[in-house]
Structure 1
Amino acid sequence: MTHTAGRGAATHDHPDLPTVRSLHELGELVRRREALYVRWSRGPAHDLDTTRSVDWLTGIPMPGLSANPLRVESWWGDRSLRLWVARRLYDYCHLRRDRDGDIRPWTLHGREVARGPDNEPLLADIVPVSWIDPAVIKEAEAEVARQRRPWGPMRR
C-alpha cells in the first residue's frame, strides 16, 4: 500500500489513508486483519459525519454504516484469495457508475450493530483502513470475467 491520496472525488478526505493498488495487496490486507469490511461511499470524512446509512428504497435511517465483509468464509476452503476479494468487490462495482463516479471503495474496521435490508452488516465505531484504487476494481472485473459461469454485479 502506498500512503499517497487516491485519485477521484474523495482525495481531500483522509489524505494520509494508504491506498491499496492491487488485488494481491487487498488479499494480503484481508489475510492480516480480522473484521475488515469494504464500503462504497464518498469516503470516511463524509461517512464519519453522518455515522448512519439510509435505506435507499424507504429513506429510513439505519443504526450504522452499511458495509460488506471481506473476511473469507470457511466454505471457500483453500481457493484463491485473489478470486475471493475480486468477487467481493465485483458485487458492488456498479455503484460507482450508477452514482456518477461520486463514490469509491475503501476498507474499514467496525463493530456490527445490526443488519440492513439486503442483510448487509451495519457498523458503528468505524476505523478507516485504506482506499481502494480504481485499478483494483478493473483487476477484479477481469478476474471475474475469467471464471466460467456468467456472473453479474448485484443491482438492488
Structure 2
Amino acid sequence: MPVVDDLDRLVALIRNSAPDEELYVRWSQGPVADLPDGPGSAQSSRDALTGIELPGLSANPLAVEPWWGDRPLRLWVARRLYDYCHLRDLRGPGVRPWVLVGEQCGRGPDNEPLVQCRRPVAWVSERALREAHRAVEAQPSTEWGPLHRAD
C-alpha cells in the first residue's frame, strides 16, 4: 500500500477523491490485520469497554462537514489525525493511521462511524502526523486536545 508522505498530499488525496468515494482514516495495524479475507469480507471492531464485537471497523470520516465553511481543508484533516493520535501508544506496536474507501454501516459506542472497507488507499506517514500535530498546536485554543480519556 502506498504511503502519503505529508499532510498536503493527504489533503490533495481528499480533494481529488471521487464524489462517490467516502474516505475514512482508521488507526490499526492495517488492512492485513483488519481485512484478513480482503475488502468486502466480514469486518469488525471490538468495543474496548465491554468487549462487544461491532459490525464494522471504527474509523473517522475525512469528508468536510458543510458547517466548516471555507476554513482550510488542511486544518480539518490535521484535526482528524490529531484527534486519535493517542491510539498509537494505547493499542501497541504497529498501530498507525491508514486511509480507506468505506461505507458506513452503523455507529459505535462513542458515536464513531463503523464502516465496511471497500478499498484500502494509503498509509499516513509519520511526517504527515508531525505536520498535523504542528497545525493543531498552532491554533489559539487552550481548551482543546486529542480525544484521549484521562486515567
Cα 1:95–1:125 change in 2 (3 A) is closer
The share of aligned pairs that are identical, in percent, is 56
Aligned AA for 2:147? M
- Alignment partner for residue 92 of structure 2, among 77, 86, 100? 100
Q: How many residues are treated as equivalent by the alignment?
A: 140
TM-score by length of 1: 0.85
Extract unaligned runs of 5+ from structure 2: 37-41
- What is the root-mean-square deviation in Å for CA atoms of aligned residues? 1.3
For the pair 1:47 / 2:38, whether they are aligned, the reply is: no
The secondary structure found in structure 1 opposite 2:141 is coil
8 Å contact kept, 2:99–2:120: yes
Find the counterpart in structure 2 of residue 155 from structure 1.
148
Question: How far apart, CA to CA, are the structure 2 residues paired with 1:74 and 1:87?
Answer: 16
Shift of 1:100: 3.3
Counterpart position of 1:14: none
* Amino acid in the other structure paired with 2:24: Y
> Separation in 1 of the partners of 2:76 and 2:136?
10
TM-score (norm 2): 0.88
Relative CO higher for 1 or 2, CA cutoff 8 Å, sep ≥ 6? 2
Q: How does 1:23-62 map to 2 (within 5 A)?
A: 23-33=7-17, 34-49=21-36, 51-62=43-54
